[in-house]
Amino acid sequence: MEQTELRPGTRTAVRPVTGKQRAARAARNGGEPTLEFAERVPYDAYVQASTLHRLQQPLSDDPGEMSFLMVSQIMELYFGLTCHELRETSRLLRTDRVWEALAPLRRAALHLEALNAAWHGLRWMTPADFNRFRNLLGEGSGFQSAMYRHLEFRLGLRDAALIRPFRRQTEVYADLNATLATPSVWDEVVALLARHGHDIPADLLDRDVRDEHQPHAAVEAAWVHIYGDSGPDNHLRMLGEALTEVAEQFGDWRHHHVKAVQRTMGAKVGSGGSAGLAWLQRSMARVVFPELWSARTAM
């Protein structure tokens, strides 16, 4: 029967198989991999690899630009993946399922670790290397990453002004507004502490979640108390450590970002209109999950 040629990116359903069917196929193949398929290769149908590899469109002929472009795209994917894990974390914390929330939190920390490793792919880049194609980027800047804004918002770093660049991208803007109006992971943690009997003021619990959480002595005291119990059944302490790992890995990403900017452009003005390095350094003063860090002084 004649087979229709599939255009790259065409969606083909992935057909489930059972263990018995896999064993039968292996027996028919004599242990060799299957080489003939009636339609699109199942791996490509699932991973969409042929689509992914068509998304790189460099603006120059400089061979180094491909590294810059693909590392940026890889980071975007990890931003989205980490947001996925943090959404699941929030959902579980909202229903007091602390033990179950540890798994997506720990995965989030590992995704952030992999995100940090992506910077290694740009360590070769000097100012001369970047300057060969930088002007072609126009006003394009990592500052304009919508998914990175989602990630910051879910971690509790909130500034409504930062979604203004997306006002003309109505769907993106609406999604960012929705995330901004949803309690962050840290908001869910603070509410959880209150439900577990810790003395958290009502005005802290009822505040507008679009505003950034400000460190509070009551939240810090709750963590000091929680860490005082080192028993194996203290799930809140385990939660604290999982959150700390996420915060630390995210902080490392911001630090690597600053160092990458220093390496490739020094203190030049940023492409997106900011002061570049100076703006990034100021932004690092905002701490993720602040009371988890300050509480350690009193432990």
Interatomic CA distance for residues 259 and 120, integer angstroms:
11
Between CA 290 and CA 124 the distance in angstroms is 34
Q: How is residue 166 written in tokens?
A: 């997306």
Residue whose C-alpha is closest to residue 68's, from 58, 53, 55: 58
CA R_g for the chain: 23
- Rounded Cα distance between 201 and 196, Å, is 14
Is position 53 annotated in a ligand binding site?
A: no
171: its two tokens: 């769907």
Question: Is 286 marked as a binding-site residue?
Answer: no
Q: Where are the beta strands (DSSP E) in the chain?
A: none
Alpha carbon separation from 39 to 2, 43, 88, 254 (Å, rounded): 11, 11, 35, 44
- Alpha-carbon distance of 248 to 252, in angstroms, equals 6
- Count of beta carbons in the 10 Å neighbourhood of residue 70: 17
How far apart CA 274 and CA 144 sit, in angstroms, is 11
DSSP E strand boundaries for 84-146 = none
- Interhelix angle 65-94/98-118, rounded to 10 degrees, is 170
Q: From CA 99, how far away is CA 147, in angstroms rounded?
A: 27
Binding site, by residue number, is 134, 257
Binding site for heme, by residue number, is 257
Binding site for substrate, by residue number, is 134
